[in-house]
Amino acid sequence: EVQLMESGGGSVQAGGSLRLSCAASGDTVNGRCMAWFRQVPGKDREVVAVLDGFATSTYANPVKGRVSIGLDIPTATLILQIDSLMPEDTGKYYCAAELRRFRRGCTTGTMNTEYWGQGTQVTVSS
């Protein structure tokens, strides 16, 4: 089992940047597909970025070019760097991970989400 804990959210002005972290504990994250999702009240949770078990990343269209996902294996920390923040980026950001390791084909459209963190709030003002 994997436990996930997000941090790094906050309130920023449009055009600013944030670096979100997701600390994983329990079972290893090596080879595991992991991702960031976000959700605003009244809407479905949506995927932002996915990093598969082979270090290949995919991004949702609304954030392409502004977001970078990465995994620091020694510290088991998943990072999401968001630049050029817009008010539309406001939401609660969640870290997720798959149960199965080294599964091919994990992308923004095909990820399974067996493990979730509690989320961290991001608020972008105009």
52-109, pLDDT tens digit by residue? Answer: 999 999 999 999 999 999 999 899 999 999 999 999 999 999 999 999 999 988 998 8
d(CA 81, CA 89): 12
Q: Are 59 and 67 in contact (CB under 8 A)?
A: yes
Report the share of the chain in percent with pLDDT over 90: 89
What pLDDT sits at residue 105?
87
Q: What is the mean pLDDT of the chain?
A: 95
CA geometry: angle at 55 spanning 51 and 61, to 5°? 40
Q: Residue 10 has what pLDDT?
A: 97
Structure-block tokens of residue 6: 């997000």
Q: Cβ of 11: how many Cβ atoms within 10 Å? A: 12
pLDDT at position 71 is: 95
Would you tell me how many other CB atoms lie within 10 Å of the CB of residue 94? 23
Place of tokens 């294996």: 73
